[in-house]
A and B are shown apart, each in its own frame.
Chain A
Amino acid sequence: MVRLLARVGNALFTLLIAIAVVFLGVRALPGDPAVALLGEEGDPTALETVREQYGLDQPVIVQFVKYLQQIVTGNLGESVRTGLPVTDVIAGAIPVTLELTAVSMLVAITIGVTAGVIAALHRGRLAGWLVSVAALIGLSVPAFWLGLMAILLFAITIPILPASGFVPIDIDPVAHVAHLVMPSLVLGSAFAAVIMRQTRAAMLEALTTDYVRTATAKGLSRRQVVVKHALRNSLIVVVTIVGLQLGALIAGAVVTEQVFVIPGFGKLMIDAVATRDYPLIQGVVLITATAYIVINLLTDLLYTVVDPRVRVTTGGAA
């Protein structure tokens, strides 16, 4: 219990530090935020009113305490560009990114594992070589360029897919899927390459192990040996890699969302920074930091459930 409280306290302190860093960070940027808020051809006479309206005329520490008070009540403020509540704006964007990321990960796993198995089984032959080259290309090509090329090919030259945008599933399920195909393939491609390389390495190792030889000697078919024995053990590596790559995949969604004009969390973040929408920037960072801290905390706690040795060790220490 003490450990649990300590861990939660630690998480809250980390969160407070994260909030303070971003709060001070956006204010440390060169340029008067009030000037930025006034916009392209804003009325300079409104400068003082803007400062007053957003509390920018008060000392930073007062602004920070007020912001913390707001957060505690669940109010992240209003976007200074649109006047819409930050919580609503973020709540609308997160599911889009999560869906894109999940679909991209599924695409990456499907392609990566299949290609990895083929490359391992055909090692030293043309098929294996081709798959390895494709993986290298997938790793090397930037998502921005790949996205534009995909649009040129599948939306202009062979117009079978929409070039960009996002249609919610309840408005039009078919269009929803059609709009997700290109972005998830582009986002998933680099990760498919990583998974393919890891799967290939793990499979090559597994295929030379004693239990695979035993399985073959027992008279199991090649397919059974590969799928049920070699691949099954190799997938452990894949699971680990997927975990390590997930953060990178969500980060990659930032670029993909820009290219395909998907109103997700990444695009929101870029647009908020570009327009110096301070409450929105703070909200976005706060949500991101909270998500990481909460998931890490849950992982830590569940780890003790899954692995009794941790519980015994740390319990003893506590």
Chain B
Amino acid sequence: MGSVHAFHGGSRRGLFTLLTLTGVLALGACSSQLNATGATGGGGGKDLTFAVAAEPGQLDPTLANTFTSAAIFDSICEQLYAVSPEATMVPRLATGEPEFSADYKTVTIKLRQDAKFADGTPFNAEAVKVSLDRHMNLPSSQRKTELAALDSVEVADEHTVRLKMKQPISPGAFSVLLTDRAGIIMSPTALKSAGDNFGNNPVCVGPFKYAERASQNYVKVVKDPNYYDAAKVQLDSVTYQIIPDSTIRVTNLRSGDIDVIERIPTTDIDSLDGKNGTKVVKTEGIGFISLEINIGNSDGVGKPGKVDGPLATDARVRKAFELSIDREALNKVVYTGRYAVACGFVAPSSTLASEAATACPPHDPEKARALLKEAGVTTPLKVSIVLNNTPEFGRIAQALKSMVAEGGFDLQINAQESTAALAAASAGDFTLYINSWSGRIDPDANITRFAATGSPSNFGNYSSEKADKLLTSARSEPEPGKRRELYGELSSTLAEDVAMIFLIRPSFYAGMRESVEGITAQPNGIVDFRAARFTR
């Protein structure tokens, strides 16, 4: 009669179950009322499903701070200028190249006359001023640093704006300003009516307009008939489906439930390219993965101080560490050789690349040991490395550990949760820190924030008068040839000081069904759906 005993012993739990199941069924029945729309469902028609790796966060161009939000804005919120797949600046809401005054302190931009916002509001110079002022002045704006060089915006006429810069700016450095989210123009009507809630229903100019979102699930955009080039847009809608796990993104692409996926891990490319009706598109990146070295961060970033230890005090020791690294092997081991090695902040594809800026130190563990001996360091020298605990960075750290052992270093790996790792880097609680940067089209935006004295992302508090002068001169130098030379000189200075060690230049691989055509991608991996279509 054990079962009867069990009934007595478990009747309380049984009742618990009964109550819970009743609730379950009652609530389950109303799930449809609470979830507005379907999520996945790619595979044809004119509705495309695109799997993105992360939640976009706020969809307010002034407040947005995620990569996914930038990807969505590319469909619904155009900037004055955009980045072409070849990493050059191309006009979007502007009609041509910006015109610079003789002193390079005033920039005049002519605007499109055929553009309208998704709510029907006409696009004009006043709208540009309202948006740029909001980007610059809203207290919680994430665009302030991007627009730090901009002093004020003037309306010259209905379709012309004049930007007053604080300092002379080179056309190259200017190209970064308005090609990212700081260049997005929002509907003044919507801004007025929605105020701080603009991100709940963003209204801009774009091939698509915002339709709906389900938090942590998807964002759907639909074709905007008000778009100036609407005739060329062939898709009816794009659903940005959030799938954080890369394995699941890949599986869904293979099954056809998703039409396009971003950020394919390099290890999955072979299983996709040409198999199960899928194909892969590669974009050369302009960002980098680097090692920040704590040279002077003893009391927080931005406050250069004194740090002890041979790596902080002796450039020969830092050089020895760099010479111990085999970048090609690192790329092969961690990324199956599908990324490129990075030896500096200037991408080889940049028009400002030079021999000096792209020079790569050789892998020479023997010389590394000799340098350590010369510096009077007892080997193996213990060095710790702080990193975000992603599998990718974990593999980089493991590979580095094995490489630098040959050069006389004993690398201690300290993997932390992303915020904790960033906090350690900011507080100066690190010796080495693995950092990554998605890249911008002008070198200035790829190095000033990491190398200028006092810059908030200069985690190691590297400070060099020479480097600071070169950074300032290169930013304001209008002549491309001279800028190339200046960035070459800056690269040599940074290499001499071993201020940071560049490792890898990630490429971007997007996967898609074979039936999807017309997709292009920017050098930072953002996928453009303007010309996308299904062939069947």
Q: A interface vs B, CB < 8 Å?
A: 29-33, 35-36, 38-46, 49-50, 53, 79, 81-84, 89, 91-96, 98-99, 101-103, 105, 148, 151-152, 155-156, 159, 162-172, 175-176, 202, 205-206, 209, 233-234, 236-237, 239-240, 242-244, 246, 258-259, 261, 263, 267-268, 271-272, 274-276, 295-296, 298-299, 302-303, 306-307
List 11 contacting pairs A-B, 8 Å CB cutoff, sorted by A: A32-B426, A41-B438, A44-B145, A49-B139, A82-B215, A92-B35, A95-B28, A162-B40, A202-B2, A275-B54, A295-B20
Interface residues of B in 1-33 (CB under 8 A from A): 1-4, 6-7, 9-21, 23-25, 27-33
Closest residue on chain B to residue A37 by CB atoms: B65
Contacts of A30 in B (CB 8 A): 416-417, 419-420, 423
Contacts of A82 in B (CB 8 A): 55-58, 213, 215
- Whether B419 pairs with A169 at a CB distance below 8 angstroms is no
- Whether A43 pairs with B257 at a CB distance below 8 angstroms is no
Closest residue on chain A to residue B142 by CB atoms: A43
Contact partner of A164 among B2, B21, B40, B200, CB < 8 A? B40
Contact partner of A171 among B12, B38, B143, CB < 8 A? B38
Q: A151 vs B255: C-alpha distance in the bound complex, in angstroms? A: 8
- Whether A43 pairs with B57 at a CB distance below 8 angstroms is no
| B374 interface residue (CB < 8 Å to A) | no
Contact partner of B140 among A50, A94, A99, CB < 8 A? A50
Closest residue on chain B to residue A296 by CB atoms: B16
Q: Which of B240-248, B356-364, B486-494, B500-508 contacts A (4 or more CB under 8 A)?
A: B240-248
- Chain A proximity of B97: nearest CB distance (Å): 27
Contact partner of B41 among A162, A234, A275, CB < 8 A? A162
- Whether A159 pairs with B256 at a CB distance below 8 angstroms is yes
1/0 contact string of B237-271 vs chain A (CB within 8 Å): 00001111101100110111100000000000000
How many interface residues does B have (CB within 8 Å)?
89
| B67 interface residue (CB < 8 Å to A) | yes
Contacts of B255 in A (CB 8 A): 151, 155-156, 159, 162-163
- Whether A102 pairs with B21 at a CB distance below 8 angstroms is yes
- Whether B23 pairs with A35 at a CB distance below 8 angstroms is no
Contacts of B216 in A (CB 8 A): 89, 93, 263, 267-268, 271-272
Interface residues of B in 420-443 (CB under 8 A from A): 420-423, 426, 437-438
- Whether B57 pairs with A46 at a CB distance below 8 angstroms is no
Q: B interface vs A, CB < 8 Å?
A: 1-4, 6-7, 9-21, 23-25, 27-41, 54-58, 60, 65-67, 139-146, 197, 199-200, 213-217, 241-245, 247-248, 251-252, 254-257, 276, 416-423, 426, 437-438, 456-457
Contact partner of B35 among A53, A96, A275, CB < 8 A? A96
- Whether B13 pairs with A240 at a CB distance below 8 angstroms is yes
- Chain A proximity of B146: nearest CB distance (Å): 7
- Chain A proximity of B100: nearest CB distance (Å): 26
- Chain A proximity of B33: nearest CB distance (Å): 8
- Chain B proximity of A23: nearest CB distance (Å): 17
Contacts of A163 in B (CB 8 A): 40, 251-252, 255, 257
- Whether A95 pairs with B27 at a CB distance below 8 angstroms is yes
Closest residue on chain A to residue B28 by CB atoms: A99
- Chain B proximity of A26: nearest CB distance (Å): 11
- Chain B proximity of A295: nearest CB distance (Å): 6
- Chain B proximity of A183: nearest CB distance (Å): 13
